[in-house]
Amino acid sequence: MENTFKKTAIWTIVFTLILSVVWLPALWFFTLWIPIIVLGYYDYHQTSHTLLRNFPVVGHGRWLMERIRPFVRQYFFESETDGAPVSRMFRSLIYQRAKGSLDSNPYGTKLDTQRVGYEWIGHSMAAKHHDAKHPVTRILVGGPDCIQPYEASIFNVSAMSFGALSDNAIRALNKGAAIGGFYHNTGEGSVSDYHLEHCGDLVWQIGTGYFGCRDEKGKFAPEAFQKVASKDAIKMIEIKLSQGAKPGHGGLLPADKNSNEIARIRLVEPGTQVDSPPGHSAFSTPLEMMDFIQQLRDLSAGKPVGFKLSIGRTSEFVAVCKAMLETGIKPDFITVDGGEGGTGAAPLEFSNSVGMPLREALSFVCDVLIGFDLKKDIRVIASGKVFSGFHLVKNLALGADICNSARGMMVALGCVQSLVCNTNSCPTGIATQDPKLTRGLVVPDKAERVAGFHQATVNSTMEMIAAAGLRNTADLNRSHIFRRISETQVRRFDEIYAIPVVGSFFDDEAPTKFAQALKESSAESFFPKQYVTETTEGLKAAS
């Protein structure tokens, strides 16, 4: 290729010089040729890219194609059901609902109803009609120990921090929450001024970095917590154990993103890299975790306190339930995040292959709570690809009381799924801190869209349950949903995910699928018993 490049360069120069004899302005072409020749010379001699050494100049086409590939696919080749993580069908639905434009579907379903995995709700012959005069279900969160219970919408904004999202995105989500009467989870990056500007209800999330409630060593600081938790806007507190997109992986705030503003909000040193450890330092056993829940409840004057997790080893969740029973301290809510959940940035292996998918995780959590007769006091919140009324219905039927959405709300804000959340160059000004990009996001307009998406989705949920003859989402259960499990067989959800008898885990009557987790779990350790050593001080995790 060297010869081809040299020959082409020499012939171009000679031809241009000859042309300039008859037409002098041809010399201007050198302003184009010289940079190309310099680039080719550089490509040929650089040592990082084989392709450019072998094909100087033209080899850059490969990188150009890689860059535009997602856009070409999305705009020219994507079918209705294509596109990940949010398919085109649901992106369009969210845009339509957010804008309040026509969202009805012409000509019938585009889904393959014979496909294994196809699901639907069984409607009733005594179907009801839902309209504005019928009440929309609200869910009271707050067990017997909670002094300030909170009445939540069935659909809310899932955790996303200021830092992962821009100031204007946070403002628009919060204003949308205020307009629509639903909550906005702060994410683990603490409570910023943008979260408070529009007075939307907040769930304050506390991760392993204890941002906004930490001392200089990064440990939990009760006074700092109390100061923030006492704010009126904060309705509930969520301890984040893990999230589905990267369970067991701590977050990292790079030094260049750690601006003075972010440092002030998170109580960290500006301009330094801040690592969030994968686990909590405020507790190291299920029993200590319950004490921490009680401490947060006391410090927040009795606001609902819960935790968020992605299910990993099942015995660990059983261990947490055993700790609830042993201490008598219960969380007011548990948020179950599916392994399919989103994030600003995570290692591919963690996003692809760590964490239980929502369906299995949600049914498992609900079953264990039912088996220990704990479900009556604890609300279950589900997150993971909830974009439509039917997504809500499925999760509520499995046992959730409430659903959260992160990426659905981002799409309502105008996200075009360009998949660059981890590069600070989000073209829609949502997942970036670049002021040149965030200025494009107009808060009042996008707040209306977030509220519009919420309202239309809740309305669709209420219409769907009315078609099943119900008025309250709490009356949904697993018998309402059907799933195709082979070309010729269909099962109801209650046949696939059989519900244990309430309290049956106390009488050794737990279904066999829970036997192993029940046997290996202990309130004294997150680890299963066989990995725990008996010491004079009690049970200790073996190293």
Ligand X SMILES: Cc1cc2nc3c(=O)[nH]c(=O)nc-3n(C[C@H](O)[C@H](O)[C@H](O)COP(=O)(O)O)c2cc1C
Binding region for ligand X (CB under 6 A): 158-161, 164, 187-188, 205, 240, 243-244, 308, 337, 341-344, 383-386, 405-408, 421, 431
For residue 384, count other CB atoms closer than 10 A to its CB: 28
Cβ closest to ligand X, residue 158 vs residue 438: 158
Cβ closest to ligand X, residue 166 vs residue 525: 166
Cβ closest to ligand X, residue 205 vs residue 363: 205
Q: CA–CA separation, 56 vs 37, rounded Å?
A: 9
Q: CA–CA separation, 230 vs 227, rounded Å?
A: 6
Q: CA–CA separation, 524 vs 327, rounded Å?
A: 11
Smallest gap, in angstroms, from Cβ of residue 419 to ligand X?
A: 11
Cβ atoms of 386 and 398 closer than 8 Å: no
Smallest gap, in angstroms, from Cβ of residue 487 to ligand X?
A: 30
Cβ closest to ligand X, residue 239 vs residue 532: 239
Cβ closest to ligand X, residue 188 vs residue 520: 188
The total number of residues shown for the chain amounts to 543
Cβ closest to ligand X, residue 249 vs residue 375: 249
Q: In this structure, what DSSP letter does residue 435 have? A: H
What's the angle, vertex CA 505, arms to CA 502 and CA 508, rounded to 5? 125
Q: CA–CA separation, 296 vs 319, rounded Å?
A: 21
Smallest gap, in angstroms, from Cβ of residue 49 to ligand X?
A: 32
Smallest gap, in angstroms, from Cβ of residue 80 to ligand X?
A: 19
Which amino acid appears at position 264 of this protein? Answer: R
H or E, element range at 380: strand 379-383
Smallest gap, in angstroms, from Cβ of residue 160 to ligand X?
A: 4
Q: CA–CA separation, 474 vs 452, rounded Å?
A: 24
Q: How is 62-79 classified by DSSP, letter by letter?
A: HHHHHHHHHHHIIIII--
Smallest gap, in angstroms, from Cβ of residue 243 to ligand X?
A: 4
The radius of gyration computed from the CA coordinates of the chain, to the nearest angstrom, equals: 27
Cβ closest to ligand X, residue 166 vs residue 363: 166
Cβ closest to ligand X, residue 209 vs residue 500: 209
Smallest gap, in angstroms, from Cβ of residue 185 to ligand X?
A: 7
Smallest gap, in angstroms, from Cβ of residue 232 to ligand X?
A: 22
Cβ closest to ligand X, residue 165 vs residue 321: 165
Cβ closest to ligand X, residue 404 vs residue 525: 404
Cβ atoms of 341 and 245 closer than 8 Å: yes
Smallest gap, in angstroms, from Cβ of residue 412 to ligand X?
A: 11
Smallest gap, in angstroms, from Cβ of residue 505 to ligand X?
A: 28
Q: CA–CA separation, 484 vs 42, rounded Å?
A: 59
Give SS3 for 429.
coil
Angle, helices 358-371 vs 314-327, to 10°: value is 30
Cβ closest to ligand X, residue 40 vs residue 212: 212
CA 46 distance to own-chain centroid: 41
Q: How is 105-148 classified by DSSP, letter by letter?
A: -SSS--S-TTSTT-EEEPP-TT-----TTSPPPEEEE--TT-SS
Smallest gap, in angstroms, from Cβ of residue 132 to ligand X?
A: 27
* Nearest Cα to Cα of residue 496 among 349, 315, 363, 340: 363
Cβ contacts of 3 within 8 Å, gap of 6 or more: none
Point out which residues pair with 162 in neighbouring strands.
165
